[in-house]
């Protein structure tokens, strides 16, 4: 019997009416001849509520007990979904992570998958059950304790099950009807994509697109799991949504397929750092140890003497999320105090945003950067930092120009046209 994985996010199961709506979509797939593994998130807002209770009870909480509490939201949804399906005449059974079992590492609140044995669920399918409803976001560690996978972990759970069970596809039901060329809230010209390559989706997810969790896309790309993103709130068929798939399934891709943005970016510059072997490691190792997510990096070299420091010096500029600025400043100040690095000044600009163009077509086309920079120049938008990869170009700009930049780039690459 062919198998399909269906994942429903928090807004898709926010109340009993929406759970029933999701169950009807599952029932239709059963009627089409599929065995189904349904992965569910907690009801919308429930995880935040549970986290709040933990923090109020114990500000310096035990991570094991944190996982025990916050994982309970998915358990409730799984049981309600199974009950709803049973009432509709669909043979269904709910599963918590430890019952499968979903074996993970012991990194509580940030666990990773080790193994998902098929035996228990396969046995239930053989007994005549048509749907296994699995609580997402959770597993069981080597010590037998409940673990959680971090925010967005239900997406990753769905992809992991699709890989483990050889599913034909993994359908991600959410509150949008697919992947768009950019955020439709910024430009009405945004177009829903029929297909997008794994690599493009991974770049878009890492650059700020919120539709899919980055780890889930990484896992799907590694195991060639075909993903479909579609809406829980619309009637759907086999052609609905956007298919995230291998590049080979896409007949011909546009040079640029999407424009992504990240609003909350900050630029940090270390002025007159000594230019010597190992200086980059001396700067970025303390940042990594402090958990700072460094993205774009630019080094400017100036040949001059600075005080009693003869020879060349450099200014080092990098971007970090705004909410990590204080952590980054502290790490740099401690590194300077310990003598590992020296600099004259640390300058922070918290009013920046990152805008990126993404497309696998960049591999075989030239002039993308020139076209991008001209579009921004035509709008009098100054570029502060540039970073590139094989299928991406990102720029850091003043935040007040972010929406204008997204619109200009969307127009410049003709993304409104199919």
User: pLDDT by residue (tens digit) across 97-119?
Assistant: 999 999 999 999 899 999 999 99
Q: Residue 227 domain-assigned?
A: no
* Same-domain pairing of 260 and 395: yes
Calpha distance 392→358 (Å, rounded) = 5
pLDDT for position 312: 80
pLDDT class of 234 with cuts at 50, 70, 90: confident
Residues annotated in a binding site: 7-10, 47, 74, 174-175, 180, 185, 210-211
CATH number for 42: 3.40.1160.10
Kind of pairing between the strands at 113-115 and 103-104:
antiparallel
Of 153, 175, 197, which marks where a domain is finished? 175
Q: Residue 50 domain-assigned?
A: yes
Q: Residue 267 domain-assigned?
A: yes
Of 175, 199, 223, which marks where a domain is finished? 175
What does pTM read for this prediction? 0.84
* Same-domain pairing of 150 and 7: yes
pLDDT for position 235: 85
pLDDT for position 207: 73
* Same-domain pairing of 147 and 37: yes
Q: Residue 287 domain-assigned?
A: yes
The 8 Å CB, 24+ separation contacts for 189-193 are: 189/407, 189/410, 189/411, 189/415, 189/416, 190/410, 190/415, 190/416, 191/415, 191/416, 191/417, 191/418, 192/242, 193/242, 193/257, 193/258
Q: Residue 237 domain-assigned?
A: no
* Same-domain pairing of 160 and 261: no
Which 3-state string (H, E, C) describes the chain?
CCEEEEEECHHHHCCHHHHHHHHHHHHHHHHCCCEEEEEECCCCCHHHHHHHHHHHHCCCCCHHHHHHHHCHHHHHHHHHHHHHHHHCCCCEEEECHHHCCCEECCCCCCCCEEECCCHHHHHHHHCCCCEEEEECCEEECCCCCEEECCCCHHHHHHHHHHHHHCCCEEEEEECCCCCECCCCCCCCCCCECCEEEHHHHHHHHHCCCCCCCHHHHHHHHHHCCCEEEEECCCCCCCCCCEEEECHHHCCCCCCCCEEEEEEEEEEEEEEEEECCCCHHHHHHHHHHHCCCCCCCEEEEEEECCECCECCEEEEEEEEEEHHHHHHHHHHHHHHHHCCCCCCCEEEEEEEEEEEEEECHHHHHCCCHHHHHHHHHHHCCCCCCEEEEECCEEEEEEEHHHHHHHHHHHHHHCCCCCC
Phi and psi (nearest 5°) for 220? Answer: -60, -40
Residues annotated in a binding site for substrate: 47, 74
* Same-domain pairing of 171 and 252: no
* Same-domain pairing of 157 and 260: no
Please state, rounded to an integer, the average pLDDT across all residues of the chain.
91
pLDDT for position 413: 93
Of 175, 195, 217, which marks where a domain is finished? 175
Q: Residue 196 domain-assigned?
A: no
* Same-domain pairing of 139 and 253: no
For residues 160 and 116, the answer to whether their CB atoms sit within 8 Å is yes
**How many domains does the structure of the chain reveal?**
2
* Same-domain pairing of 166 and 257: no
Calpha distance 266→50 (Å, rounded) = 31
* Same-domain pairing of 303 and 154: no
pLDDT class of 307 with cuts at 50, 70, 90: low
Residues annotated in a binding site for ATP: 7-10, 174-175, 180, 185, 210-211
Query: Residue 304 pLDDT more than 70?
Result: no
* Mean pLDDT for the stretch of residues 382-403: 93
* Same-domain pairing of 269 and 373: yes
Query: Residue 292 pLDDT more than 90?
Result: yes
pLDDT digits (tens, 9 = 90+) for 32-54: 999 999 999 999 999 999 999 99
pLDDT for position 203: 85
pLDDT digits (tens, 9 = 90+) for 49-91: 999 999 999 988 999 999 999 999 999 999 999 999 999 999 9
* Same-domain pairing of 274 and 359: yes
Q: Residue 99 domain-assigned?
A: yes
pLDDT for position 254: 80
Q: Residue 266 domain-assigned?
A: yes
Domain housing 116: 3-175
pLDDT for position 365: 85
CATH number for 284: 3.30.2130.10
For 407, the token pair is 């619109």
């Amino acid at each position: 019997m062919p198998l399909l994985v269906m994942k429903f996010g928090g807004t898709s199961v926010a109340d009993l009416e929406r759970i029933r709506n999701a169950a009807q979509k599952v029932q239709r797939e059963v009627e089409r001849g599929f065995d189904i593994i349904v992965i569910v998130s907690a009801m919308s807002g429930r995880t935040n509520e549970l986290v709040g209770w933990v923090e109020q009870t114990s500000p310096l909480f035990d991570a094991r007990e944190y996982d025990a509490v916050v994982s309970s939201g998915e358990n409730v949804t799984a049981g309600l979904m199974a009950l709803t399906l049973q009432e509709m005449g669909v043979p269904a059974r709910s599963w918590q992570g430890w019952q499968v079992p979903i074996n993970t590492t012991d990194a509580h609140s940030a666990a990773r998958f080790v193994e998902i044995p098929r035996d228990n669920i396969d046995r239930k399918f053989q007994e005549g059950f048509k749907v296994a409803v699995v609580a997402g976001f959770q597993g069981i560690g080597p010590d037998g304790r409940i673990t959680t996978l971090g925010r967005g972990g239900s997406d990753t759970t769905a992809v992991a099950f699709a890989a483990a069970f050889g599913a034909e596809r993994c359908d991600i039901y959410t509150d949008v009807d697919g992947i768009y060329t950019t955020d439709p809230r910024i430009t009405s010209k945004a177009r829903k994509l029929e297909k997008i390559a794994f690599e493009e989706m991974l770049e878009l997810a890492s650059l700020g697109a919120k539709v899919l969790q980055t780890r889930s896309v990484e896992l799907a790309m590694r195991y060639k799991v075909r993903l479909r993103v579609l809406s829980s709130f619309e009637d759907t068929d086999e052609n609905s949504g956007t298919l995230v798939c291998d590049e080979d399934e896409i007949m011909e891709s546009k040079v640029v397929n999407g424009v992504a943005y990240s609003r909350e970016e900050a630029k940090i510059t270390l002025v007159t750092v000594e230019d010597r072997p190992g200086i980059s490691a001396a700067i970025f190792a303390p940042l990594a140890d402090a958990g700072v997510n460094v993205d774009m990096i630019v080094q400017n070299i100036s040949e001059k003497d600075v005080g009693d420091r003869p020879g060349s010096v450099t200014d080092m500029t990098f971007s970090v999320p705004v909410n990590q600025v204080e952590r980054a400043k502290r790490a740099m100040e401690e590194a300077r105090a310990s003598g590992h690095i020296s600099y004259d000044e640390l300058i922070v600009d918290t009013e920046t945003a990152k805008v990126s163009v993404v497309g696998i077509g960049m591999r075989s086309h030239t002039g993308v950067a020139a076209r991008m920079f001209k579009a921004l120049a035509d709008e009098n938008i100054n570029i502060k930092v540039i970073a590139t990869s094989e299928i991406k170009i990102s720029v850091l700009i003043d935040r007040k120009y972010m929406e204008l930049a997204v619109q200009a780039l969307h127009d410049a690459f003709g993304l409104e046209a199919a």
